[in-house]
Amino acid sequence: MSNSQKISLSRLLGALVLASALPLLATGQAAGADPLDTLRNTGARVALHKQTGKVNFIGSGLSGAIDIPGVARASGPEESVLTALKVYGPFFGLNAPAQEVKVTRTAEQNGRFTTRYQQIYQRIPVLAGELVVNLDRERKLLSLSGELSPDLAISTTPEVTADVARTAALTGAKEWYSQIDTPKTTQPELWIYDPQLLEPSTAPARLVWRLEVTAQGLEPVRELVLVDAQTGEVALHINQIAHARNRQTYTANGGTSLPGSIVCYETTNCTGSDTDVTNAHRYAGDTYNFYWNYHRRDSLNNAGLTLRSTANYGVNYQNAFWNGSQMVYGDNFPVDDVVGHELTHGVTQYESNLVYSYESGAINESFSDVWGELIDLTNGSGNDSSSVRWLVGEDLPIGAIRSMSNPPAYGDPDRIGSPYYYRGSGDSGGVHINSGVSNKAAYLLTDGGSFNGYSVYGLGVSKVAKIYYEAQTNLLTSGSGYGDLYNDLWQGCINLYNSGAGGITSNDCTQVDYVTIATEMYKGY
Instruction: Return the active site residues.
Output: 342, 432
Contact 312, 275 (CB under 8 A): no
Contact 251, 311 (CB under 8 A): yes
Q: Amino acid letter at 506?
A: S
Q: Amino acid letter at 421?
A: Y
Nearest to 397 by CA among 244, 211, 248, 168: 244
Q: Amino acid letter at 262?
A: I
Q: Give the distance, in angstroms, between the CA of residue 50 and the centroid of all CA atoms in the same chain.
A: 19
Distance between CA atoms of 90 and 414, rounded to whole angstroms? 36
Nearest to 40 by CA among 20, 61, 10: 61
Distance between CA atoms of 351 and 342, rounded to whole angstroms? 15
Omega within 30 of 0 (cis) for the link into 408 = no
Q: Amino acid letter at 279?
A: N
Q: Amino acid letter at 2?
A: S
Distance between CA atoms of 59 and 396, rounded to whole angstroms? 41
Beta bridge partners of 102: 118
Distance between CA atoms of 64 and 42, rounded to whole angstroms? 9
Q: Amino acid letter at 469?
A: Y
